[in-house]
Amino acid sequence: MKGLVIKTTGSSYIVRMNDGLDAECHVKGNFRIRGIRSTNPVAVGDYVTVEDGWIMDVEERRNYIIRKSTNLSKESHILAANIDQAALIVTVNHPVTSTTFIDRFLATCEAYRVRAILIFNKIDLLTEEETVQLKELRELYEQLEYPTLEISAISCQPSGVLPLFEGKTTLLSGNSGVGKSTLLNALFGKEMTRTGKISDAHDKGMHTTTFSEMYFLDNGAIIDTPGIKGFGTIDFEKEEVSHYFREIFHTSRECRFGNCTHTNEPGCAVQEAIIKGDIAISRYESYLSLLGDCTESKYR
Ligand SMILES: Nc1nc2c(ncn2[C@@H]2O[C@H](COP(=O)(O)OP(=O)(O)OP(=O)(O)O)[C@@H](O)[C@H]2O)c(=O)[nH]1
Ligand SMILES: [Mg+2]
Ligand SMILES: [Zn+2]
């Protein structure tokens, strides 16, 4: 029988079978999917064929979002499969979400052609200075045509955010402690999942959510995921990286050399645009950080 994987627990998978019942299923040790080296062969959002509690087959994925365990690691972990959009929960503070983190996430979404949204949370905690920072960040990403919105998930009126999730399967991602699970609970109007505390010492979350799980709205579904520290990337080719930064890609058409890496070539339109202030330095730094990953992997 066929079904949809709605939860992973590490050793087993909860599958919502086509008859509507949930079954706990396992994967045999030698089960692999061709072409993907990942720590989890099956992910939330996968359509699977089950026999006697064993997952025998995984349907081809429309897309999936992956992260590397660490930047240098070859092992990757599939966060979710077959999603319509990915929402990154971002906090200007408590904890701080870096622009590199945001841009790596957006680049991953571009690579997999998944629509990305940025949800800035915890606006109730912002100082005046942080409010200015938030405004600048929103302007930066709105200009790049990423939808953004700002919320306070603890006092969230679901009616304000629900339309974003209507009719779609959405992956919620972000650093630990940014409020993914809190937002999920707000959307459902009741406690669906546990939320954590922010540690005073480090202003970081404590990894309260440890496995991905899909929750069903009347119309649509949301996948809550464990907080991640960073987006290592998929195996981008060096030439490819600029394709995943919208404004850099757009501007690179004006570069003198077709294979310009926008680092030290003469006649580089991207460098010019940065000097003119048309491309944000933070975005360029993120681009360089991804480019650096590619170089590292070449010499491993
Ligand atoms: N002040 C304030 N606190 C919030 C807000 N949203 C979440 N929090 C708090 O932040 C803490 C962490 O929230 P969680 O929802 O557990 O964060 P998470 O992103 O699910 O974290 P992980 O599961 O560890 O990845 C909790 O104490 C929440 O109450 C908000 O909008 N304002
Ligand atoms: Mg959580
Ligand atoms: Zn260039």
Per residue in 129-184, pLDDT tens? 999 999 999 999 999 999 999 999 998 777 778 999 999 999 999 999 999 999 99
pLDDT of residue 238: 81
pLDDT of residue 73: 59
Q: What 3-state class would DSSP assign to 169?
A: strand
From ligand 3's centre to the CA of 242, what distance in Å? 10
pLDDT of residue 60: 92
**CA dist 290 to 104, 138, 150, 295, Å?**
7, 22, 27, 9
The mean pLDDT value of the chain amounts to 89
**151, 160 Cβ separation under 8 angstroms:** yes
The verdict on the CB of residue 121 being under 6 Å from ligand 1 is: yes
pLDDT of residue 70: 55
Class of domain 65-224: alpha beta
| CATH homologous superfamily, domain 238-298 | Probable gtpase engc; domain 3 (1.10.40.50)
65-224 has the same fold as 2-60: no
From ligand 1's centre to the CA of 173, what distance in Å? 12
Sketch the domain layout of the chain as residue ranges.
2-60, 65-224, 238-298
From ligand 1's centre to the CA of 56, what distance in Å? 37
- List, for the chain, all residue ranges whose pLDDT scores fall below the cut of 70: 33-37, 68-75, 230-235, 295-300
pLDDT of residue 196: 87
Which ligand 1 atom minimizes the distance to the CA of 227? Answer: 25
Calpha distance 21→295 (Å, rounded): 48
Q: What 3-state class would DSSP assign to 121?
A: coil
The verdict on the CB of residue 153 being under 6 Å from ligand 1 is: yes
